[in-house]
Structure 1
Amino acid sequence: MKLQELNARGQSSVSTVSSTRLIRARSKSINFVSTKYESLDYDICENMLVVDEERSKGYNYIMQINIIRYILFLVIGLLVGLITLFIDFSIQFLTQPKYRILRVLTDECHKHCYIYLYVVWCLLVMVPTAIGSFLAIYVESESSGSGVPAVLCYLNGVSMPRMMTLKTLVCKVAGVICAVVAGLGAGKEGPLIHIGTIIGGLIPSMNIPNRKISSYMNYFQNDKERRDFSAGGAAAGVAAAFGAPIGGVLMSLEEGTSFWSVLLMWRIFICGIISSFFFNFFLSWHHGHSGKMAYDELFFFGKFSDAELRYEVFELPLFILMGAIGGLIGALCVELNMWLTVFRSRFIKKKWQKFLEAMMVAFITVNFGVFSIYAMSNVCLPVNYRPDNAVQVNCKENEVNIQSYFWFQIQENMLKHLLHSPIAVFQAVPLLVHLLLYSIMILLTTGLSISAGLFIPNLIVGALWGRLFCIGLKYLFPHADWIIPGKYALVGAAVQLAGMVRCTISLSVVVIEATGNITFALPVMFALATTKWIGDFISEGVYEMQINLRGLPILPTDPPPLTSNITAEEIMSTSVVTIPTCVVVAEVLAKLKNTNFHCFPVVGQSTLVNTQDPDFLIPYGQLEGLILRSQLIVLLMNKAFEESHPADFETRLNMFRKAYACQQVDVESLELTTAEKEMVLDLRAYMNPSPYSVRAVTSLPRIFRLFRSLGLRHIIVVNNVNQVVGIVTRKDLARFRLWVHRGNMRLKELRVHS
């Protein structure tokens, strides 16, 4: 009743009738929370075994664990840097002959060879697209897309099946190479975040033959440690992709990690430094400037001089205006992506349909390139600014076709040319044509069944309309010497990306680090802040949109406002299965097989209560502790109920940690004899004796903050005498969603289904 009253009150105060209808129409496709995603448990189970381990091993053991932890962060940073280097070199190695072939065929092509050129171009785009799409559809579906939404959910506390496996890593690396080589509207930077997260999650689970080191590695076999390593890997991915270790740390903390401390930030920072260092070191060697770590080509956006980024105070309103434009364009792109994603989920479900869609997008990409080059064959560029593979077509001897300038080079080089070329190089019409065609390519590629990111493509789109903005200023003020195209292209690139992903603080730092110039930080910050405000006023970011469409039970930073009158009693589940501290094995087995619950409160004797009150909460017994489904299965698999079972804490702890490392927790695999089923299992040494619990009158915001800040999986609800009356899970909180759309706000209760 309270929720309906709240919605009615919110509708009258912050929503009009038309806006409410709009929100309902938009919510039909995303108004649910999926039950197939479980939660991770970032809260350490401090049972008797853990206490005995700490008491027995002392401070020396903790110091050794800390040293190994730092070594693992260093290894993660190194591996992410090397894999980024491998991807970068592979893309260059494969794209150079591709563009060389197209250049030779185009330059030497006359009237009767256009079909041959067209067929070759189709093959050079569609073959790598087919390989990348095949990997994402038929081999490992979790390698599809950028992977950033899955990373955000994992760091938030959602268990993402198959997200962090070796097969996903291999498919992700190969898929992103294929997508970029094909020339789709795709980048490698987003997938690198996913790749870094996978490496961070896999490193603690390595099988090391050395017995002593392996015993130390067992310490890291839990969700909390794996989350910290994954956060370091995500930051290392950003650091290697943009050459921005500080920006990587901030992006990991701003967008993903739900819990952070100064110590964790320091470890992530080290991971980012190592990743960026090794990537830049080998890249400088590849460019023939071995060891020169300040080499201009190492900067992602290219080295900007102070003269290129000088600005006057009266330009700040122009940068703010660009930020507003970026917010509007970003919100529009998110809306279009949402409708396209909904269309795909309804009509493109089968694997062959997804593969055919990828081939169609590749075919459209080829036709866009052919059309723009030959439709604008007389729009030329002086040969001084010619990239390696630009073609002449109908241009004069000392000129090249300007559209081939865009199509026949890798994306990073195109972006650098847009940022650093003089204003006279690019005319308005070619920029506008490529802006429209490339924007359509990005729209079609985002959400496609292939490993593809959206960072670089959106930076290019922003740089394109940023130069158009500069050309417009030059038309209005033809004699102004403060109109420099590079700075407007840079601001356009930054706000376009921010309009899509809505990260401001980290992106500001990434831009500063990637340009090698701090003097331009203030205009970028003004523009990005404006983009964030405008974009959030209209819609959510693209990653939040994708998360909502999948029904992932992610918890935002803050609880929904105006929900303090909703209590635990109203949102909790009263279907609780409890277990006594000492229980017969057959009873445990029956509860595991007959329910799909992942949490069992351990209770003492329950008290029978006779009452006719329909609102009375029936107690399940005095709360003694909490034990997880996975723990019970491990105990039964290892026959912990037998008298011969090892009693030392280290052996018993390792059986849980080894089971976590190999994920062998399947109730169907249990084979117990009749005699074993009659034995008694004592849970007191294994259960969490101090689980988090709240009273039934606790408000939703308070429960929400406990879940979000502590990374909990369950909270037990008790009455005044500490008897279990219910349980709250992540899905019980995630179904309350605050919808903000075009200035209207409303609390909605989402459906929970599979």
Structure 2
Amino acid sequence: MCPFVDIEQITDASIDEYVECPVDSKLLNAKFQSLDYDNCENVLYQREERQKNHRQLLKQQFARWVVMCFIGIFTAIIACSIDIAIHRLSTVKYSLLKSYFDETMKTSYLFIPVLLWIAWNSGFVLIAAILVAYGEPVAAGSGIPQIKCFLNGVMIPHVVRLFTLFCKVVGVVLSVVGGLAIGKEGPMIHSGAVVAAGISQGRSSTFRRDFKIFTYFRTDTEKRDFVSGGAAAGVSAAFGAPVGGVLFSLEEGASFWNQALTWRIFFASMMSTFTLNMIQSYIHGVPWQLSYPGLLNFGQFSDISYTGAEIPIYLVMAVVGGLLGALFNHINLKLCIFRKRHIRTPLGQVLEAVLVAAMTAVAAFLLIYFVEDCQALGKDPIVHPLQMYCLDGQYSSMAAIWFQTPEQSVKSLFHDPPDSYRPLTVALFGIVYFLLATWTYGLSVPSGLFIPCLLTGAAWGRLIGISVRGVFPDAEWANPGKFALVGAAAQLGGVVRMTISLTVILIEATGSISFGFPIMIVLMVAKWVGDLFNEGLYDIHVKLAGVPILPWEPPHLTSNIMASEVMSHPVTTFDMNETVGHVVNVLKKDLHEGFPVVDHINPAPNQPGRSTFGLLRGTITRSQLIVLLKNKAFTDPTTGIRGSNRLTLDHFREIYPRFPKIEQIHITEREKACVINLVPYMNPAPYTVFDNTSLPRIFKLFRGLGLRHLVVVDKNNEVIGIVTRKDLARYRFESHKGSKGLEELQMSFN
């Protein structure tokens, strides 16, 4: 088994041994709290439900569809804004660089355009890194791991705030224009999730504006469903794949699903695609032609058919994709560990991002300078052809790949004529871009992973296509562009390890369902091969952060572990009538988020060793207690005067989700003697298990019902412990280098 290692205490001597261990040997971070996807059916909830009529129910159902519609529309508008900004800034960038290169080639002062290239990249990336490192760190990366954790039931601070969206959108534009090996498609999933969270709550916590609409959606459960729709709308806007968006949200994101939610999410995805298509058609001067369904346009493949003889070649490419994907993830893991050890300050993170931007420009120039691959103008529809040392009427094919956005480069490798690139050109480009992409993902800038993987895979896939065409020069099926598509799918599948959703996304993006079977087979084999060595990159980054995420199934070899071994013990409990002073003291000293409400919480004098904590009556959360204290919902025992009027669920929705801390609640000494009746506010029928319940059964309850706490009771219904998400997440089944077994992780409180 892999030994337990604290990532903050890794030495130079142990780093190699450490990174060879499974990624899930990391610490679990205790700072992550859980979301509660189980409705608290207390007296207030039951009172509100009894007052509802048929008209109110129809209004809420209609509001769900309206919110999903707006989620799709606004996500598409953001996607269009990102695309327009990147296109126009990139046009200025490459036009300027081309003019300087063309001018200095006559004088051999090539250092001038190179320095300009470095300065451009570094300047734009500098701003993007500052926005993330000093503004909102959670805006870094694609955001997919964070959204995956949120939908799984883990509260990620600031992940769906409006300021996070601002840093994400502006940062990804600057990062792409800054030449980093990233794409804009991945961050669209995070952007759609933020849009969904904001619209569905009818308020902006960032600007402290409450529009007093959709207040009945201010619960963790409702918010989760809308965020699922936002993630799907983001995929749909990025790739023009509404069905793929729904499947992505199901396969990679949402942990809880139902049939009605599927239809609403599909509606949001379709609205996103339609809106983006309509806007893009107007921008391109062909109103209502509706031929621009997504940001990433693979173009139309003239010959995408295949024969049975090609399948073995595709299987070999799938194996290559799985191996390269595992290598990509392994290198990126080492780099992320290095960052955690040495690049901890915001200044260091900004400087690293600027360094990568500068090195990207240097690497691109060196490839353009040393690789001589001249092609005749007119073969490749490049917008900014760079002549370099080629003859008149020719351009550098290596420069053609670099002097455009990564999305355009993917399209070029798919559709350029067979003789547009020499084998050495695509081979060197693929190697360099692979290394740059592994270095780039994980920087403190917004960055998508899809395009770097597609572009890297398209490069080595086209190389294989060129080789196959050399062996079978007369074969109609030996089209390098088709092999580039297969390589792109294999590389992406080997890195992210998605199958169903990714297959549908690529089918919708290419517009060819007939080629769906080879794509599916390639993705499946690439995933299987990659899984032999490590996990998908998103899962790696989730575990690097120590997030207590729960997988789909309970860990193997846990059926003999009982609730009495898993639960937290002793348990902090409250009586049904508690003094304000005691509640305040407990909330200040105890960091737990949920507490059982019991009868007779003190053991009898003749039972000093009693291990139970009273007869269970219900449970109450920290946030509920905070609201009670904030609204003075207690009674003076001497006068019988209540501190406030009767509370309703609106009092809790009013400050959701930013509940104040206990230190922010002002309680006088006189008020501390008052009494709170917890009965109307507690959950009177919480889920419970006996102490001999197995871990897999507990796991299924948590995973299927979205629980935050599970009380453990004895045969007399007396509380003996409590199980939380972290208690379950610390058990993981390891499979590494032939060694398999169950490991219990440690908890970090840093």
Query: Equivalent of 1:687, from 660, 679, 682?
Result: 682
Query: Equivalent of 2:316, from 321, 324, 328?
Result: 321
Query: Equivalent of 2:653, from 645, 649, 657?
Result: 657
Query: Equivalent of 2:356, from 350, 361, 367?
Result: 361
Aligned to 2:250: 253
Q: Is the 8 A contact 1:538 1:740 kept in 2?
A: no
Query: Equivalent of 2:615, from 605, 622, 626?
Result: 622
How far does residue 143 in structure 1 lie from its aligned partner after superposition? Answer: 1.0
Query: Equivalent of 1:155, from 147, 151, 156?
Result: 151
Aligned to 1:221: 218
Aligned to 1:17: none
Question: 1:103 & 1:291 partners in 2: Cα distance?
Answer: 35
How far does residue 207 in structure 1 lie from its aligned partner after superposition? Answer: 3.6
Question: 2:366 & 2:423 partners in 1: Cα distance?
Answer: 18
Q: Is the 8 A contact 2:237 2:295 kept in 1?
A: no
Query: Equivalent of 2:513, from 487, 499, 518?
Result: 518
Q: What pairs with 1:181-200 in structure 2 (closer than 5 Å)?
A: 181-200=177-196
Which runs of 5 or more residues in structure 1 are unaligned? Answer: 9-20
Q: Is the 8 A contact 2:151 2:253 kept in 1?
A: yes
Question: 1:406 & 1:42 partners in 2: Cα distance?
Answer: 48
1:127 aligns to 2:123 (yes or no): yes
1:460-508 deviation digits (Å, cap 9, x = unpaired) = 1111111111112123223322212222111111111111111110000
Q: Is the 8 A contact 2:460 2:484 kept in 1?
A: yes
How far does residue 323 in structure 1 lie from its aligned partner after superposition? Answer: 1.4
Query: Equivalent of 1:262, from 237, 259, 262?
Result: 259
| Number of residue-to-residue matches in the alignment | 726
Amino acid at match of 1:706: L
The secondary structure found in structure 2 opposite 1:435 is helix
Which runs of 5 or more residues in structure 2 are unaligned? Answer: 4-15, 205-209, 636-640
Question: 2:576 & 2:677 partners in 1: Cα distance?
Answer: 6
Task: Report the CA distance shift for 1:335/1:670 in structure 2 as closer, same or farther (over 3 A).
Answer: same
1:481 aligns to 2:449 (yes or no): no
Query: Equivalent of 2:36, from 29, 33, 41?
Result: 41
Aligned to 1:18: none
Q: Is the 8 A contact 2:29 2:748 kept in 1?
A: yes
Q: Tell me whether 438-447 or 295-304 shows the greater mean CA deviation.
A: 295-304
Q: What pairs with 1:408-447 in structure 2 (closer than 5 Å)?
A: 408-447=403-442
Question: 2:293 & 2:446 partners in 1: Cα distance?
Answer: 30
How far does residue 743 in structure 1 lie from its aligned partner after superposition? Answer: 4.8
Aligned to 1:565: 560
Task: Report the CA distance shift for 1:216/1:106 in structure 2 as closer, same or farther (over 3 A).
Answer: closer
Aligned to 1:279: 276
Q: Tell me whether 371-380 or 232-241 shows the greater mean CA deviation.
A: 371-380
Q: Is the 8 A contact 2:496 2:538 kept in 1?
A: yes
How far does residue 123 in structure 1 lie from its aligned partner after superposition? Answer: 1.4
Aligned to 2:344: 349
Question: 2:23 & 2:155 partners in 1: Cα distance?
Answer: 25
Aligned to 2:502: 507
Task: Report the CA distance shift for 1:207/1:144 in structure 2 as closer, same or farther (over 3 A).
Answer: closer
Aligned to 2:527: 532
Question: 2:550 & 2:52 partners in 1: Cα distance?
Answer: 37
How far does residue 729 in structure 1 lie from its aligned partner after superposition? Answer: 0.7
Aligned to 2:76: 81
Q: What pairs with 1:346-745 in structure 2 (closer than 5 Å)?
A: 346-377=341-372, 379-606=374-601, 608=603, 618-642=611-635, 643-644=641-642, 651-661=647-657, 663-745=658-740
How far does residue 215 in structure 1 lie from its aligned partner after superposition? Answer: 5.9
Question: 2:20 & 2:533 partners in 1: Cα distance?
Answer: 16
How far does residue 537 in structure 1 lie from its aligned partner after superposition? Answer: 1.9
Question: 1:22 & 1:526 partners in 2: Cα distance?
Answer: 35
Question: 2:596 & 2:433 partners in 1: Cα distance?
Answer: 55
1:41-65 deviation digits (Å, cap 9, x = unpaired) = 1111111111111111222211111
The secondary structure found in structure 1 opposite 2:619 is strand
1:566-625 deviation digits (Å, cap 9, x = unpaired) = 111111111211001111111111111121111110001258479999xx8711011100
1:69 aligns to 2:64 (yes or no): yes
The secondary structure found in structure 2 opposite 1:60 is helix
1:207-252 deviation digits (Å, cap 9, x = unpaired) = 49xxxx9666221111111111111111111000000011011001
1:706-745 deviation digits (Å, cap 9, x = unpaired) = 1111111111100111100001111111111122334543
Q: Is the 8 A contact 1:30 1:549 kept in 2?
A: no
Question: 1:518 & 1:92 partners in 2: Cα distance?
Answer: 29
Q: Tell me whether 137-146 or 242-251 shows the greater mean CA deviation.
A: 137-146
Task: Report the CA distance shift for 1:112/1:441 in structure 2 as closer, same or farther (over 3 A).
Answer: same
* TM-score after normalising by structure 1: 0.93
1:96 aligns to 2:127 (yes or no): no
Aligned to 2:290: 293
Query: Equivalent of 2:197, from 160, 180, 201?
Result: 201
Q: Is the 8 A contact 1:579 1:600 kept in 2?
A: yes
How far does residue 29 in structure 1 lie from its aligned partner after superposition? Answer: 9.1
Task: Report the CA distance shift for 1:81/1:296 in structure 2 as closer, same or farther (over 3 A).
Answer: closer
The secondary structure found in structure 1 opposite 2:572 is coil
Question: 1:489 & 1:743 partners in 2: Cα distance?
Answer: 34
Q: What's the RMSD between the two structures over aligned residues?
A: 2.2
Question: 1:28 & 1:431 partners in 2: Cα distance?
Answer: 32
Aligned to 1:750: 745
